[in-house]
Structure 1
Amino acid sequence: MQDLLALAARLGRDPLVIQGPGGNISLKRDGVMWVKASGTWMAEAEERPILIPIDVAAVLDGLATDDPACETCEPFVRRDLTDLALRPSIETTLHAVMPQRVVVHVHCVETIATACLSDATERLATPLSGLNWSFVPYVRPGASLGRAMAEHLKAGTDVVVLGKHGLVVAADSVTEAARLRAEVSQRLARTPRTAPGPDRGTLEAAAGDGYAIGDDDCWHAIATDPISLSAAQCGSLYPDHVVFLGPGIVAAEAAERAVAAARRCGRAAVPLVVIPGAGVLVHEAATSGARALIRCLADVTSRLEGDDPISPLSADDEAQLLNWDAEKYRQSLDARPS
């Protein structure tokens, strides 16, 4: 257990692997699956309790009988083993269907840069050759994803790439799970482009009303690199973008202030406004999770090429995430100082 928590903390501190409260881990032991609680941060795994005990057999039975309780898995929590008043991860079923003792799910930037493409399966074949891997087309996280995972697993499958989402690895030891995660990320690695720096004069002119120049210089690549900007304007590339930043991006028009751009798009106080060619402005109310996802967008889009066939989430996919109680709950837990 301590090894798992140490791994979670290490991965949680790497923005190329985990962003904000994203990702989750689990350990099965004596019929109980200890899984990350929804909304907790893996980076804090060694500082505060983040794991919830689950009756794993009950989860699997629930999936087999289409029990609606599998959507949250709250009824399956072993309350006799914890006093942590949090919900289990919305991806608890994903962990339950993999038979290995240790399961690690990350929002690996290197994986997402391929998983968001329409030809992802073909792109993955060569770099993942020799591994026992599977690809699961995008399904909203929750019970539906757990069932989809089960349908795509074969005997011995220990690597799963989730379309438009991320990476899952599984093993019977923490050490092997960590090694496998690192190997897959390395195999899928793409070289990021170096982008021009921000145009602070233009950004200052568009700022105000709660919007200020983004703190991290790497964020501005979303706007200053033409390929990154084009990719970002395609739409939402993965679920946590929608959850923490809203659908797609708001891009200002020429000489338009950020607040006006947000209002034009019907999204007052949106966390991120992109000023094409100049950089990004971030609203003062943007949470720590939102800021982590701005970095993620910069990292993912800097690894995409101009001819990559990007396949963003559909409007229906976005609506399902925005109107989902499980994600509203996770958003509420993200109200922490940035």
Structure 2
Amino acid sequence: MTDTDDSEMRDLLALAERLGRNPLVIQGPGGNISLKRDGVMWVKASGTWMAEATERSILIPIDVAAVLDGLAAGDPACETCEPFVRRDLTDLALRPSIETTLHAVMPQRVVVHVHCVETIAAVCLSDAVERLTARLSGLNWSFVPYVRPGAPLGRAMLRHLTAETNVLVLGNHGLVVAADSVAEAERLRAEVSQRLARVARAAPKPDREVLQAAAGDGYSIPDDDRRHAIATDLVSLAAARRGSLYPDHVVFLGPGIVTADAGERAVDAARRCGRVGTPLVVVPGAGVLVHAAATPGARAMIGCLADVTCRLASDDPIAPLSADDEAQLLNWDAEKYRQSLDARMP
């Protein structure tokens, strides 16, 4: 591989690792990063973890001009962007990121896409634009209403870009920042996250006795008390019950959440909801139970849900993804591929 042979690329990969190890910015295999030069865009491979950027090869070289031409022509190849991979420059047998078009449409050399919880907590609200306008004043930003990730999002972004735009806030999704250097991209990312920051509520401790009674048949109590806030904090619970707030929740946890009735075992709640083996069962007031088969990505998304909902207020106008939005994600081959990679992780 040639993608680590220079200082700029090393800086990019070091940034990817730092962001990937911060669960408030990136969760599991989510988020992506890229660098354009000499007609080639090096972008994160689908299903890889940014946290591993300095330990293994995670970047795929793409013919960026071919991607842009494909988008303009409505080429279905833009759904995966596999035909645009520069196979002469890599032997990595992985697909490019499902967000390759997102990176291609930004003209800047460095693009960083994160699912930071501060952004998600802002963009899952029906009045997101109004709130963002106040907080992002002075930045060259634009808001893109939710559209399925992949080629549809890339085309939607084009409609919201100007020559000066270097920040795109994606409805029910996340944040994109772009710059001509790695350092400037990270400075901008940090500034936007800081501007959108909200105070996270402290949640009551879990009731392990109640949880133990609901556990079994593959479901157990996670050690991280932070995850239990989904159930023990009533405002967080109400927010989580509203539905799926962002795409990776649907991909790794399924649509919405499964909640157990009083005295009901987790396995029975999952069966009642037609979600046998679902990674997460919420026991209202007590805490959460996680299935032994939950993938690393699913476990990361449970933490993300807790981190997002504890930043939402009781009077926030939450606007979750629609059933159609969820169905598009669940039936999308690109996401099934990412799920299959996640299932192979130890």
Q: TM-score range by the shorter chain?
A: over 0.9
- Note the residue ranges of structure 1 that are not aligned, 5 or more in a row: none
The equivalent of 1:242 in structure 2 is: 250
Which residue is 2:3 aligned to? none
The answer to whether structure 1 residue 165 and structure 2 residue 177 are counterparts is: no
291, 307, 321: which one pairs with 1:313? 321
Q: Say if 1:134 and 1:153, in contact at 8 Å, map to a contact too.
A: yes
Could you give the per-residue CA deviations for residues 243-283 of structure 1, whole angstroms, max 9, x where no partner exists?
00000000001100000000000000000000000000000
1:11 to 2:19 alignment: yes
Kindly indicate whether residue 269 of structure 2 is the aligned counterpart of residue 255 of structure 1: no
Provide the rounded CA distance (Å) in 2 between the counterparts of 1:336 and 1:45: 18
Q: CA deviation at 1:215?
A: 2.4
Does the CA-based 8 Å contact 1:133-1:159 persist in structure 2? yes
Paired AA for residue 277 in structure 1: G
State the match for 2:185 in structure 1.
177
Q: What is the alpha-carbon distance in structure 2 between the residues aligned to residue 116 and residue 326 of structure 1?
A: 23
The yes-or-no answer on 1:122 pairing with 2:130 is yes
| CA deviations over 1:195-231 (Å, ceiling 9, x no partner) | 0000000000000000000221100000000000000
Give the secondary structure class of the aligned counterpart of 1:126: helix
User: Alignment partner for residue 227 of structure 1, among 229, 235, 256?
Assistant: 235
Give me the whole-angstrom Cα distance separating, in 2, the residues matched to 1:225 and 1:182. 28
Please name the residue that 2:302 is paired with.
294
Query: What is the CA-CA distance between 1:155 and the residue it aligns to?
Result: 1.6
Q: 2:76 aligns with which of 64, 68, 72?
A: 68
Alignment of 1:97-116 (within 5 A): 97-116=105-124
**Given that residues 101 and 173 in structure 1 are in contact (C-alpha distance below 8 angstroms), is that contact kept between their aligned partners in structure 2?**
yes
Q: Match for residue 151 of structure 1?
A: 159
In the aligned structure 2, how far is the partner of 1:337 from the partner of 1:111? 28
1:90-132 CA distance string (max 9 Å, x none): 0000000000000000001000000000110001011100000
Report the CA distance between 1:288 and its aligned residue: 0.6
Partner AA of 2:218 in structure 1: G
- The letter of the residue matching 2:50 is M
Structure 2 portions without partners, runs of 5+: 1-8
Matched residues in 2 for 1:141 and 1:215: separation? 33
Q: Aligned partners of 1:181 and 1:337: how far apart in 2? A: 29
**Are the counterparts in 2 of residues 12 and 43 from structure 1 also a CA contact under 8 Å?**
yes
CA–CA distance in structure 1, aligned partners of residues 313 and 295 of structure 2 = 30
Measured in 2, the distance between the counterparts of 1:337 and 1:144 equals 29
Letter in 2 for 1:194: A
Decide whether the 8 Å contact of 1:203 with 1:281 is kept in 2. Answer: yes
2:85 corresponding residue in structure 1: 77
What is the number of residues matched between the two proteins? 338
In 2: Cα distance, 1:227 partner to 1:157 partner: 35
Q: Is the 8 A contact 1:288 1:336 kept in 2?
A: no
Answering whether residue 284 of structure 2 is matched by residue 276 of structure 1, we say yes
Provide the C-alpha distance between the structure 1 equivalents of 2:131 and 2:268, rounded to a whole number of angstroms.
40
Query: Partner residue of 1:327?
Result: 335
Q: CA RMSD for the aligned pairs? A: 0.6
- Distance in 1 (CA, whole Å) between partners of 2:175 and 2:345 is 29
TM-score (norm 2): 0.97
Contact 1:113 1:304 in 2 (8 A): yes
Match status 1:192 vs 2:190: no
Q: Deviations over 1:15-55 (max 9, x none)?
A: 00000000000000100000000000000000000000000
Displacement of 1:154 in angstroms is: 1.2
1:33 counterpart (21, 30, 41): 41
CA distance in 1, matches of 2:99, 2:295: 22
Q: Return the offset for 1:336.
A: 4.1
